[in-house]
Amino acid sequence: MSLRRRMPPEARRSAILAAATELMAGHGWDTVTVSGIVDAAEISKGGFYHHFSSKDAVMEAVIRDLAASGLDSAVRALDTTEGDALKRFTAFVTAGLDWESARAETLDQIARIAAQRGNDPFFGRLQENAIEHLRPALVALVRAGAAEGTFSMSDAETGPAVDLLLHLLLSRWRTIAEARGHARAGAPDRAKRIVADRLNAESALMARVLGLTEAQAASLAEGRTGYAGSLSAS
Residues engaged in binding DNA (CB under 7 A): 1-7, 9, 12, 32-36, 43-47, 49-51, 53-56
Q: Locate all alpha helices (DSSP H) within the chain, ordered by sequence.
A: 9-24, 34-40, 45-51, 55-80, 85-102, 104-115, 120-148, 155-170, 172-184, 188-210, 214-222
Of the pair 38, 212, the CB lying nearest a second copy is at: 212
Minimum gap (Å) between residue 61 Cβ and DNA = 13
Long-range contacts of 166-172 (CB under 8 A, 24+ apart): 166/130, 166/131, 166/134, 166/135, 166/138, 168/202, 168/205, 168/206, 169/93, 169/96, 169/202, 170/127, 170/130, 170/131, 172/198, 172/202
Q: Is 163 in the site for a second copy (CB under 8 A)?
A: yes
Q: Does 68 bind a second copy (CB under 8 A)?
A: no
- Using CA atoms of 84, 82, 79, 165 in order, give the dihedral in degrees to the nearest 10: 30
Q: Could you give the CA distance from residue 176 to residue 195 in angstroms, rounded to a whole number?
A: 7
Cβ at position 16, least distance to DNA in Å: 9
Partner interacting with residue 55 (select from a second copy, DNA, none; CB below 5-8 Å by kind): DNA
CB 106, CB 126: distance < 8 Å: no
Site membership for a second copy, residue 201 (CB under 8 A)? yes
Closest contact distance (angstroms) between CB of 160 and a second copy is 4
**x-marked contacts with a second copy along 119-158 as a string, rule CB under 8 A:** -xx-xxx----------------------------x-xx-
Cβ of residue 128: shortest distance to DNA, in angstroms? 19
Q: How far is the CB of 43 from a second copy (least distance, A)?
A: 25
Q: Which stretch binds a second copy (CB under 8 A): 31-39, 65-73, 81-89, 199-207?
A: 199-207
Asked whether position 198 contacts a second copy by CB under 8 A, the answer is yes
